[in-house]
Amino acid sequence: MSQPIVVTHPLAQVHLTRLRRDDTPADKFRWHLQRLAEILFTVASRALETSVISIRTPLAETEGHELARPLVLVPILRAGLGLSDAIHPLVPEATVAHIGIRRDEETALPHPYYAKLPPVLGRADVFVLDPMLATGGSACTAISQLKAAGAERITFLCVVSSPQGLEALDAAHPEVPIITAAIDEGLNDHAYIVPGLGDAGDRCFGTT
Ligand code: PRP
Ligand code: URA
């Protein structure tokens, strides 16, 4: 199995701890999720290709860099919005493509209900964003949808992952790099990550 990149930076772990705590209210949850998203995206984007360009400073001609390819951010609704809200300001030229998937509460199987994908996918560096990788069903489905629409360079970014989700994603899409802040123990009987942080969408949007 290809190895996920686990971001162990102390600031990432401090924000993650605030997300895990059951006494963190929705406003603080969103704030820590956004700060953690900035750190994770900085790592996830470290290998983006740049083109060298000539520029002029107030003093001299010099060389600089610009991103070589378009960027597409793909939050998986709902909880992925908590990540894209923070990452989009870091790369304001990025296109945001939304994919809606909800897990069936009984079976934990993914049900896609929405997708708005841009034509630029085939030329772009694509970042799929979801705080939780539990069974892996949602991530695998989203990435399959993106590939079917032409995406080739895809990275998956999440906050908490389970060993089962990592294995499922690696089996379905072995070439997709995975960036996460934690690999937890496993899943409970309802396919929730343990210790995890609960239902990310509900905690983000106060719908618990
Ligand atoms: C959660 C989470 C992921 C998915 C992870 O979304 O945000 O998308 O579950 O579980 P999986 O790896 O087993 O597929 P949910 O379906 O609860 O939707 P929501 O964000 O709208 O609450
Ligand atoms: N979805 C969540 O939001 N949390 C989990 O632990 C599993 C799926």
The one-digit pLDDT tens for each residue of the chain (208 residues) are: 779 999 999 999 999 999 999 999 999 999 999 999 999 999 999 999 999 999 999 999 999 999 999 999 999 999 999 999 999 999 999 999 999 999 999 999 999 999 999 999 999 999 999 999 999 999 999 999 999 999 999 999 999 999 999 999 999 999 999 999 999 999 999 999 999 999 999 999 999 8
Q: Catalytic: 130?
A: no
> Which residues make beta-bridge pairs with 6?
180
Tell me if 159 sits within 8 A of 36, measured CB to CB. yes
CATH architecture of 5-48+67-205: 3-Layer(aba) Sandwich (3.40)
At 50 the pLDDT is 97
At 32 the pLDDT is 98
At 2 the pLDDT is 73
> Which residues make beta-bridge pairs with 71?
125
Ligand 2 atom closest to Cα of residue 191:
7
Mutate to test the pocket of ligand 1, among 19, 106, 130, 164 (most ligand atoms within 8 A of CB): 130
At 52 the pLDDT is 98
Q: Catalytic: 155?
A: no
At 200 the pLDDT is 98
Whether omega before 78 lies within 30 degrees of 0, making that bond cis, reads: yes
Closest ligand (CA of 184): 2
Report angle CA 41, 72, 153 to the nearest 5 degrees: 85
Mutate to test the pocket of ligand 2, among 19, 33, 132 (most ligand atoms within 8 A of CB): 132
Q: Which residues line ligand 2 (CB under 6 A)?
A: 132, 134, 192-193, 196, 199-201
Domain locations along the chain? 5-48+67-205
Cα–Cα distances in angstroms (integers) from residue 109 to residues 39, 53, 134, in the given order: 30, 47, 11
At 61 the pLDDT is 98
Residues 6+ apart with CB under 8 A from 33: 15, 19, 82, 83, 86, 131, 159, 204
- Report whether residue 172 contacts ligand 1, using a CB cutoff of 6 Å: no
pTM: 0.97
